Amino acid sequence: MAIYRLTERLAIANNIEGALIEKYGADQGTRNAISFYISMIDAGTGSLSGVGSELLTSLHDGFIQNLNANGLPTAPAAH
């Protein structure tokens, strides 16, 4: 199953950024989201940190579970 970067980016924005902004307001929620993104990267290597790897694994597992439960959408989602 192909997973595209934009799909991942939108899922993270919706699930992480959206929740943080809703809970803490625009200013603090945005700062918290930036801190979260920073925690996803290992600064020494420039690769995913353990947190980043766990998040993307969970995200991919969710995509697969949704696909298995609901099948492919009949048409692409338009936003």
Q: Taking the model in full, what pTM does it have?
A: 0.71
pLDDT digit string (tens) for 16-51? 899 999 999 999 999 999 999 999 999 999 999 999
CA–CA dist 18, 29 (Å, integer)? 8
More confident residue, 77 or 37: 37
CA–CA dist 24, 79 (Å, integer)? 25
Instruction: Dihedral sign for Cα 56, 59, 65, 68, please.
Output: negative
- Which DSSP letter does residue 78 get? -
The stretches of the chain forming alpha helices (DSSP H) are: 5-12, 18-24, 26-39, 50-70
**What pLDDT, on the 0 to 100 scale, is given for residue 23?**
97
